[in-house]
């Protein structure tokens, strides 16, 4: 599924209008009608018993959709109060036409009346203030309305956004705010109905976690998706379904373990690599940690390695086609030396996580010299990301004062370009980006939400799963994308109470469900 930016959506709309596929009016009619149908399908009780709706219309075409919605709700027996920000005379042409049509059916009141403090009596509030044309933070009555939505508009049964919650940047999912002290304001919705394809903002940052509620996509008869910015991540079924042949044909992953009492992370990673289908998985541990590991591992092979030389000697074996390291290694020069040894052979893939990333916080460029142009995946969480890419992270945490705002996708892309390899930036809105700009959002939101995945050790398992897929011959980008999806899916299937150990053990069920 494609994820569009506001500019891409505008280009698609323009192309449709210019080629005569539809007029702007027709698109607006389909959009407004589609929103009403989507709402009634979403909450069938609203279809059975029409109540009272407030439609908040903005000064652009999002407001135009609002007038269409008001008309269709009224035709279905709803009592409808329409509020407008600005004057009808300032509306763009299609919105103005629909404003006129509405005026034949009912009154228009200034938005300030909706913003005043009285309790709302509405069963439904339609937020048609701003859509993809939002360029700056909300102010005045629009801001008050958005802020009130956090208190559910007094008595309102449901708050529904047209296209995007007003105040939210469609490209980043961030609420626009003028300065850090300025509390970000965007409408908090129960449902967001968008058109053609989802926007990036429906999948990133606060969009899915706080603002959109549920999301429905309405088909308004637009064809084609020219060069979309990104898409929703998915498992690579053909790659995963390749039948298991000789164990060596599915590669050999090496996981580097920390010292005594610090091997748990590597064991979790190794288990992830094995369950995701690596032919062989070896865990390399310092001699003192061998007994500890031997008592905990069966199918995973164990090798004692002494120092950096030990790792290099082991890696003379070219059948080891990927190394995963970082978890449990500790931050410091010794870990940097291990990264150097792991990346010495150009043909080998690598997954660097946790301490393997943080060890380079003082000189990230040293790491990037090793990773550039290589089959390497870096898997930072936001904290590690900030250590390796401080300038990029700063842009992401600075208040989003103008739309389109710098997004998590922009950040991962910028980082991938700097490091010259694949970046997987973790979160419920995981982004995987490549140096050439290709990017996916692997989303654990909406029906795929699994907040219990944020558990200690889950990241170690993910690093191992990526390594396991690279061992199997996946391109590192596809390995990161598929592993992130499988990782979420395993957590989803397990449910609350999940601990990291459960994730690898759930993978066979996930594969079964995928029909593999
Ligand atoms: N694309 C499609 O295929 C289809 C699109 N459709 C619909 O059109 C919507 C996009 O419409 P749109 O481009 O007119 O933008 P919209 O969001 O209504 O706002 C623009 C106005 O707001 C103003 N403004 C901005 N920020 C502001 C602020 N903070 N405070 C105050 N004002 C602010 C801005 O002024 P300016 O920034 O230019 O000064 C401008 O006047 C889209 O979301 C969808 O619902 C559908 O009908 C079907 C097909
Ligand atoms: K809106």
Distance CA 100, CA 106 (A): 10
ipTM value > 0.95? yes
Pair 511, 240: CB distance under 8 Å: yes
Token pair belonging to 200:
């990036």
First and final C-alpha spacing in the chain: 22
| Kind and range of the H or E run holding 127 | strand 124-128
Q: Which of 30, 126, 135, 201 to mutate to test the pocket of ligand 1 (most atoms within 8 A of CB)?
A: 135
Residue spans per domain, the chain? 2-226, 237-513
| Residue whose structure tokens are 């956090």 | 150
By C-alpha distance, which of 486, 474, 376 is closest to 430? 486
Distance CA 476, CA 378 (A): 10
Nearest ligand 1 atom, CA 132: 43
Cα(177) to centroid(ligand 1), Å? 18
Cα(432) to centroid(ligand 2), Å? 28
- Name residues whose C-beta falls within 8 Å of residue 195's C-beta, 6 or more positions apart in sequence: 9, 31, 34, 163, 217, 218, 219, 220, 222
- φ and ψ at residue 25, rounded to 5 degrees: -60, -45
Distance CA 497, CA 197 (A): 34
List alpha helices for 77-192, DSSP H.
93-103, 111-115, 140-149
Distance CA 386, CA 366 (A): 16
Q: Is 310 annotated as a binding residue?
A: no
Peptide bond into 404 cis (omega under 30): yes
Residue nearest to atom 36 of ligand 1 (CA): 135
Token pair belonging to 220:
């308004």
| Residue whose structure tokens are 């992953």 | 253
Q: To 10 degrees, the CA torsion angle through 30, 33, 36, 37?
A: -80
pLDDT score at 153: 64
- Name residues whose C-beta falls within 8 Å of residue 341's C-beta, 6 or more positions apart in sequence: 308, 311, 312, 315
Cα(461) to centroid(ligand 2), Å? 39
Token pair belonging to 27:
């698109």
Given CATH 3.40.50.10260, say whether it is the number of domain 2-226.
yes
Neighbours of 310 (CB within 10 A): 16
What single DSSP character describes residue 178? S
pLDDT score at 140: 95
Q: Is 136 annotated as a binding residue?
A: yes
What single DSSP character describes residue 434? -
pLDDT score at 224: 66
Q: Is 265 annotated as a binding residue?
A: yes
What ligand has the least distance to the C-alpha of 26?
A: 1
Pair 201, 195: CB distance under 8 Å: no
Which residues lie with the beta carbon below 6 Å from any ligand 1 atom?
9-10, 13, 27-28, 31, 58-65, 92, 130-139, 162-163, 195, 220
- Name residues whose C-beta falls within 8 Å of residue 107's C-beta, 6 or more positions apart in sequence: 81, 82
Given CATH 3.40.50.2000, say whether it is the number of domain 237-513.
no
pLDDT score at 116: 84
Q: How do strand 2-4 and strand 230-232 relate by DSSP bridges?
A: antiparallel
| Residue whose structure tokens are 């865990």 | 283
pLDDT score at 247: 64
Nearest ligand 1 atom, CA 403: 26
- φ and ψ at residue 198, rounded to 5 degrees: -65, 155
What ligand has the least distance to the C-alpha of 220?
A: 1
Neighbours of 72 (CB within 10 A): 20
Distance CA 427, CA 444 (A): 8
| Residue whose structure tokens are 């290694």 | 329
SS3 70: helix
Q: Is 5 annotated as a binding residue?
A: no
Cα(127) to centroid(ligand 2), Å? 5
- Name residues whose C-beta falls within 8 Å of residue 269's C-beta, 6 or more positions apart in sequence: 255, 324, 327, 353, 460, 461, 463, 464, 467
pLDDT score at 183: 81
pLDDT score at 50: 95
Task: Return averaged pLDDT per consecutive 10 residues of the chain, 516 residues in all.
Answer: 94 92 96 98 95 96 98 98 98 98 98 81 94 96 89 75 98 93 88 97 98 97 75 93 68 97 97 97 97 95 97 97 97 98 97 98 98 98 98 96 96 98 98 97 98 97 98 97 98 98 98 94
Residue nearest to atom 30 of ligand 1 (CA): 138
Q: Give the per-residue SS3 of 312-377.
A: HHHCCCCCEEEEEECCCCCCCHHHHHHHHHHCCCCCCEEEECCHHHHCCCCCHHHHHHHHCCCCEE
- φ and ψ at residue 364, rounded to 5 degrees: -55, -30
């Amino acid at each position: 599924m494609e994820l569009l930016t506001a500019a891409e959506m505008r280009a698609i709309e323009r192309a449709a209008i210019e080629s005569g596929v539809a007029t702007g009016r027709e698109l607006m009619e389909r959009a407004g009608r589609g929103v009403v149908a989507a709402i009634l399908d979403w909450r069938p009780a609203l279809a059975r018993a029409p109540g009272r709706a407030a439609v908040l219309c903005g000064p652009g075409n999002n407001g135009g959709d609002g007038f269409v919605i008001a008309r269709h709700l009224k035709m279905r027996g709803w009592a409808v109060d329409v509020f407008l920000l600005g004057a009808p005379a300032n509306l763009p042409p299609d919105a103005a036409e629909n404003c006129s049509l509405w005026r034949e059916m009912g009154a228009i009141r200034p938005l300030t009346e909706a913003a005043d403090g009285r309790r709302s009596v509405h069963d439904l509030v339609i937020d048609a203030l701003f859509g993809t044309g939002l360029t700056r933070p909300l102010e005045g009555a629009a801001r008050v309305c958005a802020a009130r939505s956090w208190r559910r508009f007094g008595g309102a049964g449901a708050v529904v956004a047209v296209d995007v919650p007003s105040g939210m940047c469609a490209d980043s999912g961030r609420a626009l705010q003028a300065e850090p002290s300025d509390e970000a304001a965007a409408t908090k919705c129960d449902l967001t109905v968008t058109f053609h394809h989802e926007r990036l903002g429906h999948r990133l940052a606060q969009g899915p976690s706080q603002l959109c509620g549920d999301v429905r996509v309405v088909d308004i008869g637009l064809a084609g998706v020219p060069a979309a910015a990104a898409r929703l991540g998915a498992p690579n079924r053909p790659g995963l379904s390749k039948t298991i042949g000789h164990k060596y044909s599915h590669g050999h992953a090496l996981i580097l373990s920390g010292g005594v009492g610090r091997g748990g992370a590597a064991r979790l990673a190794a288990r992830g690599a094995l369950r995701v289908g690596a032919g062989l998985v070896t865990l390399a541990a310092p001699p003192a940690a061998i007994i500890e590991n031997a008592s905990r591992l069966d199918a995973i092979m164990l090798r004692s390695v002494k120092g950096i030389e030990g790792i290099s000697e082991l890696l003379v074996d070219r059948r080891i086609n990927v190394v995963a390291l970082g978890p449990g290694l500790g931050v410091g020069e010794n870990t940097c030396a291990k990264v150097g040894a792991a990346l010495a052979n150009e043909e080998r893939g690598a997954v660097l996580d946790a301490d393997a990333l943080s060890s380079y916080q003082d000189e990230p460029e040293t790491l990037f010299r090793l990773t550039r142009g290589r089959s390497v995946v870096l898997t930072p969480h936001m904290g590690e990301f900030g250590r390796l890419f401080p300038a990029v992270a700063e842009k992401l945490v600075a208040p989003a004062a103008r739309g389109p705002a710098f997004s998590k996708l922009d950040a991962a892309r910028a980082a991938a370009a700097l490091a010259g390899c694949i970046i997987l930036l973790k979160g419920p809105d995981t982004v995987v980006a490549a140096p050439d700009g290709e990017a996916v959002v692997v989303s654990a939101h909406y029906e795929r939400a699994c907040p219990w995945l944020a558990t200690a050790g889950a990241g170690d398992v993910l690093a191992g799963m990526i390594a396991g897929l690279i061992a199997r011959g996946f391109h590192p980008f596809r390995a990161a994308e598929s592993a992130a999806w499988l990782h979420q899916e395993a957590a989803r299937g397990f449910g609350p109470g999940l601990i990291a150990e459960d994730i690898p053990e759930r993978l066979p069920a996930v594969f079964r469900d995928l029909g593999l």
